[in-house]
């Protein structure tokens, strides 16, 4: 505070006196608190069997933990399993997933459930009890210490007419990658040879704020995936003409090598303005794309192509049921929210529940694996000691004042309040392991029966009185 008031020494000193006096007044009324120690179960539940989930399972298995992996789909792999060759070693996504899955199946301490969903979660960090529905009939109950959420992403689905989507010859990047991987010899589409291809970047990403629900973020992997795919086209047919219509080319780091290879192979890169996107017209046997190049002072080009590829980005997966069960916070972009992107990048506000991979935002494959290993590290740190100590700064309820009106449970976002009977009277009771000390319940209580340890009403009143008292 002295920096703020460096030209007003007298008032700065007075303010300092008030602050110290307020702190002393609060401390006088403080009581010693004991941390809550909980024994932990050395087992982990991983939700999602994509590359992040499987990699986390193998790492936790190596540490000796029992691991349960549940996958909503009947097959493991997520989007990675559907991809063809990937940079930098041109290894197919299906082969990568196959290798991870084969390794997981050989481990005695890894159990994988496919066609399975989480239906219920009870308990707290170190001692969760979860119910998993496997198929339509079977329900499995598991006891785990931590939960890692790696549910992945969905690919953006363009709306009808968006950059010509819905017309013959307009496909998304995932669709085009499958077409390319399944082709033998020269590339064909619906029985016709493909000699001219255009790619429009940032479809579904970095959208205008004027849209109803815009995706403002960059999906990070799309530029690299599109350029890498174009190199695959060149390898099949070197005379194919390829046009890349982009806003900003974000092949960062080592991915810049792909961009340079594409340039050297003859691909044309045309930069269009955010507010002046390309237009598409069907001329019968071709698609005509009209675009203004920002690098040639807005010169207009008409490009006739056989195939238009919309480079679609990532969108958050529909996970409302899972969000309700785990009480996970959702960010403005619709992905799961971590506590802090730099200091606590895989931890959530729910102790013992971690997020990994593209479930928390767009990531490349390498970034997804890195975040999954971070979640592994955090899970192991909690479970290896055999116990976890929780902060004692939680809410407390005066059962003599409480009349069980249910207002506090409505205010609590963590389900940390339960109804119990005390001497034949129904009252609210805090579940210490779930309470975060947020205090939302305090002002909602009409009986003034709730306080937060370390921030009781009498402490706050004493602090205020000390602040406003004249310095003499």
Domain span including residue 219:
156-314
Residue 159: beta bridge partners? none
Q: Do 298 and 220 belong together in one domain?
A: yes
Q: Do 146 and 172 belong together in one domain?
A: no
pTM of the predicted protein model:
0.88
Residue 7 has pLDDT above 90, yes or no: no
Q: Do 133 and 269 belong together in one domain?
A: no
Question: What pLDDT digit, counting tens, does each position of 275-291 carry?
Answer: 999 999 999 889 999 99
State residue 209's pLDDT score: 85
356-385 burial string, b = 16+ CB within 10 Å, else e?
bbbbbbbbbbebbbbbbbbbbebbbebbee
State residue 208's pLDDT score: 87
> Strand (E) positions, 272-416?
279-282, 287-293, 299-305, 307-312, 314-316, 353-355, 387-390, 395-397
Residue ending a domain, among 334, 358, 388, is: 388
> Strand (E) positions, 72-115?
85-86, 91-92, 110-114
On whether residue 1 sits in a domain, the answer given is: no
On whether residue 283 sits in a domain, the answer given is: yes
On whether residue 266 sits in a domain, the answer given is: yes
Question: What pLDDT digit, counting tens, does each position of 357-399 carry?
Answer: 999 999 999 999 999 999 999 999 999 999 999 989 999 999 9
Q: Do 446 and 374 belong together in one domain?
A: no
Radius of gyration of the chain (CA): 28
Residue 92: beta bridge partners? 85
The dihedrals phi and psi of 236, each to the nearest 5 degrees, come to -80, -40
Please provide the DSSP assignment of 238-268 as one string.
TT-EEEEEESS----GGGHHHHHHHHHTT-E
State residue 86's pLDDT score: 84
If you search the block for the tokens 């009185």, which residue do you land on? 465
The enclosing domain of 444 has a CATH number of: 3.30.70.20
On whether residue 4 sits in a domain, the answer given is: no
Question: What pLDDT digit, counting tens, does each position of 67-93 carry?
Answer: 999 999 999 999 998 888 888 778 888
Residue ending a domain, among 261, 289, 314, is: 314
Q: Do 161 and 191 belong together in one domain?
A: yes
Q: Do 372 and 414 belong together in one domain?
A: no
How crowded is residue 389: how many other Cβ atoms within 10 Å of its Cβ? 11
Q: Do 164 and 90 belong together in one domain?
A: no
State residue 2's pLDDT score: 52
Residue 217 has pLDDT above 90, yes or no: yes
Which has the closest alpha carbon to 255: 218, 229, 217, 223? Answer: 223
Number of folded domains in the chain?
3
On whether residue 16 sits in a domain, the answer given is: yes
State residue 410's pLDDT score: 95
Mean pLDDT calculated for residue range 211-222: 91
Whole-number Å distance between alpha carbons of 377 and 372: 9
Question: What pLDDT digit, counting tens, does each position of 22-51 carry?
Answer: 999 999 999 999 888 999 999 999 999 999
The DSSP call for residue 92 is: E
Per DSSP, the three-state class of 122 is: strand
**pLDDT band, residue 160 (cuts 50/70/90):** very high
Whole-number Å distance between alpha carbons of 354 and 372: 9
On whether residue 446 sits in a domain, the answer given is: yes
On whether residue 176 sits in a domain, the answer given is: yes
Residue 323 has pLDDT above 90, yes or no: yes
Q: Do 172 and 309 belong together in one domain?
A: yes
The enclosing domain of 58 has a CATH number of: 3.50.50.60
State residue 210's pLDDT score: 82
Mean pLDDT of the chain: 93
Which has the closest alpha carbon to 51: 345, 363, 325? Answer: 363
Whole-number Å distance between alpha carbons of 300 and 292: 4
What phi-psi label fits residue 465: left (phi over 0), alpha (psi between -120 and 50 degrees) or beta?
Answer: alpha
Residue ending a domain, among 370, 388, 406, is: 388
State residue 147's pLDDT score: 98
Whole-number Å distance between alpha carbons of 84 and 77: 13
Question: What pLDDT digit, counting tens, does each position of 117-142 carry?
Answer: 999 999 999 999 999 999 988 999 99
Mean pLDDT calculated for residue range 304-333: 94
Whole-number Å distance between alpha carbons of 365 and 255: 13
Residue 415 has pLDDT above 80, yes or no: yes
Q: Do 256 and 305 belong together in one domain?
A: yes
Q: Which residues contact 69 (CB under 8 A, 6 or more apart)?
A: 46, 48, 49, 53, 54, 57, 104, 110, 111, 112, 113
Q: Do 167 and 294 belong together in one domain?
A: yes
Residue 284 and residue 291 in contact, taking contact as beta carbons nearer than 8 Å: no
Q: Do 464 and 416 belong together in one domain?
A: yes
State residue 5's pLDDT score: 75
Q: Which residues contact 200 (CB under 8 A, 6 or more apart)?
A: 163, 245, 277, 278, 289, 308, 309, 310, 311
State residue 185's pLDDT score: 79
State residue 231's pLDDT score: 95
Which has the closest alpha carbon to 236: 279, 309, 185? Answer: 185
Mean pLDDT calculated for residue range 437-456: 95
Question: What pLDDT digit, counting tens, does each position of 325-358 carry?
Answer: 999 999 999 999 999 999 999 999 999 999 999 9
Q: Do 116 and 75 belong together in one domain?
A: yes
State residue 88's pLDDT score: 76
On whether residue 418 sits in a domain, the answer given is: yes
């Amino acid at each position: 505070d002295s920096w703020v008031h460096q030209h007003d020494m007298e008032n700065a000193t007075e303010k300092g006196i008030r602050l110290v006096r307020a702190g002393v007044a609060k401390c006088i009324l403080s009581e010693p608190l004991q941390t809550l120690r909980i024994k932990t179960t050395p087992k982990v539940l991983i939700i999602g069997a994509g590359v992040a989930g499987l990699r986390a399972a193998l790492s936790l298995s190596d540490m000796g933990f029992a691991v349960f992996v549940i996958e909503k789909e009947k097959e493991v792999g997520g989007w990675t399993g559907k991809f063809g060759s990937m940079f930098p070693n041109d290894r197919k996504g299906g082969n990568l997933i196959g290798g991870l899955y084969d390794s997981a199946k050989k481990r005695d301490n890894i159990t994988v459930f496919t066609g399975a969903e989480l239906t219920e979660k009870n308990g707290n960090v170190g001692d969760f009890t979860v119910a998993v529905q496997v198929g339509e009939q079977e329900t499995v109950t598991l006891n785990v210490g931590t939960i890692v959420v790696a549910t992945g992403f969905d690919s953006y689905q363009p709306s009808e007419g968006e950059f010509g989507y819905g017309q013959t010859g307009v496909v998304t990047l995932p669709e085009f990658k499958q077409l390319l991987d399944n082709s033998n010899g020269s590339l064909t589409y619906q029985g016709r040879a493909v000699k001219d291809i255009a790619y429009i970047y940032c479809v579904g990403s970095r959208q205008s704020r004027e849209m109803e629900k815009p995706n403002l973020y960059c999906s990070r992997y799309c530029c690299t995936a599109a350029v890498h795919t174009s190199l695959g086209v060149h390898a099949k047919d070197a005379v194919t003409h390829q046009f890349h219509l982009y806003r900003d080319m974000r092949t960062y780091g080592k991915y810049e090598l792909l961009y340079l290879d594409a340039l050297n192979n003859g691909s044309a890169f045309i930069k269009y303005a955010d507010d002046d996107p390309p237009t598409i017209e069907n001329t019968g046997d071709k698609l005509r794309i009209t675009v203004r190049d920002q690098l040639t002072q807005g010169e207009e080009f008409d490009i006739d192509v056989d195939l238009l590829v919309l480079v679609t980005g990532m969108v958050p997966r529909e996970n409302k049921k899972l969000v309700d069960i785990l009480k996970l916070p959702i960010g403005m972009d619709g992905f799961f929210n971590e506590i802090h992107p730099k200091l606590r990048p895989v931890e959530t506000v729910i102790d013992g529940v971690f997020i990994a991979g593209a479930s928390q935002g767009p990531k490349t494959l390498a970034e997804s694996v890195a975040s999954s290993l971070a979640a592994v590290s955090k899970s192991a740190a909690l479970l290896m000691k055999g116990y976890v100590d929780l902060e004692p700064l939680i809410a407390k309820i005066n059962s003599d004042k409480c009349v069980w009106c249910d207002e506090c449970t409505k205010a609590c976002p963590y389900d940390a309040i339960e109804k119990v009977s005390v001497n034949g009277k129904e009252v609210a009771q805090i579940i210490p392991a779930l309470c975060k000390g947020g205090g939302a319940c305090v002002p909602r209580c009409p009986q003034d029966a709730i306080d937060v340890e370390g921030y009781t009403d009498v402490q706050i009143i004493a602090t205020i009185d000390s602040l406003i008292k004249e310095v003499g």
